[in-house]
Structure 1
Amino acid sequence: MEAVCVVLHVDALEPRLLLMALHNAANLRKHYAETPVEIEIVVNGPGVRLLRDEPGPLRDRIAGGVPPVRIVACANTLRVMAEEEGQPPALIPEVGVVPSGIVRLVELQRAGYAYVKP
């Protein structure tokens, strides 16, 4: 059976958009319960600030067992944040890092992932 592959893109500093992406991921998993599903949430630009390892509902949701989904932050954005703040930001431990968010989006779409922007 062929996997359903989806990339969700969050690039705004709006918690509701990241929460919506997490809800979308859960709904995809529920709908395709009998089908392999690959889901990645790519976060770049101002949206990366949502992934800081700070107390709050986003951290709790991501750290507390979101449906199996890979969440990645853009290293380019992290570099800019580190320059602005004088140190690299601490991310929620479950969040991975990719060299470039936009490049990752292109790579996944070229690999057949459906693109969704909540």
Structure 2
Amino acid sequence: MSVTLVLIDACAASPKESRVQGAVQAVPKTAVHRVVVQVNSDDPVIMKHAITNSLNLLKAYGDRNEAAAVEIVAYGAGVNMFREDTSPVKDLLRFLHATHPDVVFSACGNTIAIMERNEGHPLSLVDGARSVPFGVVRLVELQEAGWSYLRP
């Protein structure tokens, strides 16, 4: 399966503060569209859809000169998407991060802790990924803050 990606410009936005895991997280203040994408499967097709859906959103809104913010939240088996050692979509994530550094990659800290305990070693995440305490809580918080929800 081949994937064709089109290089697109990142949407400009100014920062706004939002609390994540006790730290301040930058969220575009002027974002007209805010979308959270859920990944809870280790199926590479679903992971690719999450990335291409994100790219398509950013391109479509960018073409209309409308700011957009995207966060991909992975939990359960979906955390494999952001693992440096197991991600089947590392190259696509690198592309997404390089072309749209404001896209947030959030991995469930609870799932990471379970994987680390089961595997007996610490996990490394791909560049741009960060841990949040609970992926499902992050999804709820973003939806309660008015973010649109997408599940590929």
TM-score (norm 2): 0.72
User: For the Cα contact (< 8 Å) 2:31–2:67, is it kept in 1?
Assistant: yes
Q: In the alignment, what sits opposite 1:104?
A: 138
What is the count of residue pairs matched by the alignment? Answer: 118
Residue correspondence of structure 1 range 75-86 to structure 2 within 5 A: 75-86=109-120
Residue correspondence of structure 1 range 47-62 to structure 2 within 5 A: 47-54=78-85, 58-62=89-93
Equivalent residue of 1:64, what SS? helix
Specify which of 48, 51, 60 is matched with residue 19 of structure 1.
Answer: 48
Q: Which runs of 5+ in 2 are unaligned?
A: 1-29
Deviation string, structure 1 residues 23-78 (Cα, Å, up to 9, x no partner): 00111111111111010000000111222113875111112344521111000000
Specify which of 23, 32, 38 is matched with residue 61 of structure 2.
Answer: 32
Q: Does 1:5 align with 2:39?
A: no
Give aligned-pair identity as a percent: 36
**Distance change in 2, residues 1:89/1:28 (3 Å):** same
Deviation at 1:2, TM superposition (A): 5.5
Root mean square deviation, CA, Å: 1.7
Q: Which has the higher contact order (CA 8 A, sep 6+)?
A: 1
TM-score (norm 1): 0.91
Q: Does 1:88 align with 2:119?
A: no
Deviation at 1:93, TM superposition (A): 2.0
Q: Which runs of 5+ in 1 are unaligned?
A: none
